[in-house]
Structure 1
């Protein structure tokens, strides 16, 4: 039995072991002083109270040993008990600092709320996503996975950092992959485009292997790897080079178009582009009537999503059918009313 308790004691963290020793010492000296000077310390509780005050170096002076034996007990308490109490507080502070350093260095697993978002890779796109998402959804929990960072990159924003590569299962488990609702895998700017896409697809396979139901958005740089990303299970693919090239080309043809697109896509500036399900009362109506009905609510319908294919500005006589989704832009005042 004694060996069992000793083993349990050794398994405690350093702070716990020091606290146990300090508590035992205080109780022991409290009991001893009660029997040495029963007139000054009429109860055991009074003795323990005096031991706590003395060991913590506070010294109220409400209980003071008067005999030689009592003073010797006090000296022993100061030498032994105060040392353990001081060690306990130092160990506690050290543990707190080490814990905070471990969190900043990405060594601590995420144990927060469920339905969080995981972002893989640190770059300017990740920085932008984190800043915008925390503005739009302050309660959203975000976990960042990156193998190049040495510590949390944005200490002023509530983001949990995990150091490591997202193609390893234990790193994904530390990020809470089983409870997350979305994963965004960004391209690695430190390697070539082909290598970046290969790494992205490998990370996508690992994510889907850990949680097949999670929604995965991946950034692909080369056209040749788009089909491989689809085969690996990507729910949505962002071809960043293609999108950037399209914007550059349109800017050459129509000067200033990039600012207009940026204004539309930047949600907190007053507009919001989104898909919504087609209301039942609008089934089989032409696209022209759909535009008129939503325009009254300060929403501009710009397209239809049919069987997974998005039609932007389709012919006005196009009929919307069951299962279609509407692509629209919510107006500034509509956003204000909906947020309130």
Structure 2
């Protein structure tokens, strides 16, 4: 019984190996064995064992250079056996390799291949916003790896430095495929196929899943309604983008200006070279007024937009507004 159990264990372990690895071993054994045998049977035609192995290799692969040929009946019989036994394995070997490569390519296109990189950005939801963000990130950080999670695409959008993971972003297995534990940040876009309330509820659920797996992950979430803002903050969102407010504010500003602000809005894209930054206050700014700090930053080609004090943000405060130790400077720079 012990012998049977041991045999079954060996067979099981053998079958767990990839099939192309097992076939490779068979082919190598055939080449080495028949190369040794033919060198023993016909020493005049095959002076060394290496010559026999070389002959066995070019024969089973159907290359057939003809530089070594068995002359005796026994040698030719051995060659016939090797061809019948080896050619089938070689054919199976190359067929398996091809099938494996094609399968892996299909899995990659279909979003079934796990991402192994680190310090990447995870974007959840494929839409025009996601496409624009990817284009911007490729300009600002061209070597930054991006993982796109979506369950509506049948195939990867095939964008450089973007790995597509197909699946539900609330599912742990999907997030594990995206290597969420090693990610730098996650951006949750609103589902364009749902109504505003349901889209926000889904975004909150995704945020909870992300923070549940990686509490330290920096998460940006897009919301379409005001009702879920508090829930997003409770769920641990590091940044809440209220699309409804941004869009309405830009549209109202365009109406009030009546002078074509759309071109200005396009310059707010980080890909254009201009970015917003939040800088901690250094000793050189403490006690200075907003006016004095603005002049100082202009020398570095940066425009002071506002001051962030705790949870409160003051955009374009009075020129006499005094900067304190724990403040942060909101600047527009390039």
Structure 1 length-normalised TM: 0.93
The equivalent position to 1:137 in structure 2, one of 137, 141, 145, is 141
- Summarize the Cα distance change of 1:44–1:16 in structure 2 as closer, same or farther, 3 Å threshold: same
- Other structure's SS at 2:284 match: helix
Q: How does 1:207-286 map to 2 (within 5 A)?
A: 207-255=210-258, 256-263=260-267, 265-286=268-289
Residues in 2 aligned to 1:144 and 1:163: alpha-carbon distance in whole angstroms: 8
Alpha-carbon offset, residue 3 of structure 1: 4.5
Residues in 1 aligned to 2:153 and 2:142: alpha-carbon distance in whole angstroms: 24
Residues in 1 aligned to 2:202 and 2:232: alpha-carbon distance in whole angstroms: 11
Alpha-carbon offset, residue 44 of structure 1: 2.3
Q: How does 1:136-175 map to 2 (within 5 A)?
A: 136-153=140-157, 155-175=158-178
* Structure 1 portions without partners, runs of 5+: 336-340
Residues in 2 aligned to 1:8 and 1:276: alpha-carbon distance in whole angstroms: 58
Alpha-carbon offset, residue 275 of structure 1: 1.3
What is residue 293 of structure 2 aligned with on the other side? 290
* Structure 2 portions without partners, runs of 5+: 1-5
Q: How does 1:323-338 map to 2 (within 5 A)?
A: 323-330=326-333, 335=334
What is residue 204 of structure 1 aligned with on the other side? 207
What is residue 110 of structure 1 aligned with on the other side? 115
Structure 2 length-normalised TM: 0.94
- Other structure's SS at 1:328 match: strand
Alpha-carbon offset, residue 270 of structure 1: 3.6
What is residue 37 of structure 2 aligned with on the other side? 32
Residues in 2 aligned to 1:231 and 1:189: alpha-carbon distance in whole angstroms: 24
Cα displacement string for residues 94-126 of structure 1 (whole angstroms, at most 9, x for unaligned residues): 1011111111111111112x1111111111101
What is residue 12 of structure 1 aligned with on the other side? 17
Structure 1 residue ranges, 4+ long, deviating more than 3 angstroms after superposition? 1-5
Cα-Cα RMSD = 1.4
How many residue pairs were aligned? 328
Alpha-carbon offset, residue 41 of structure 1: 1.6
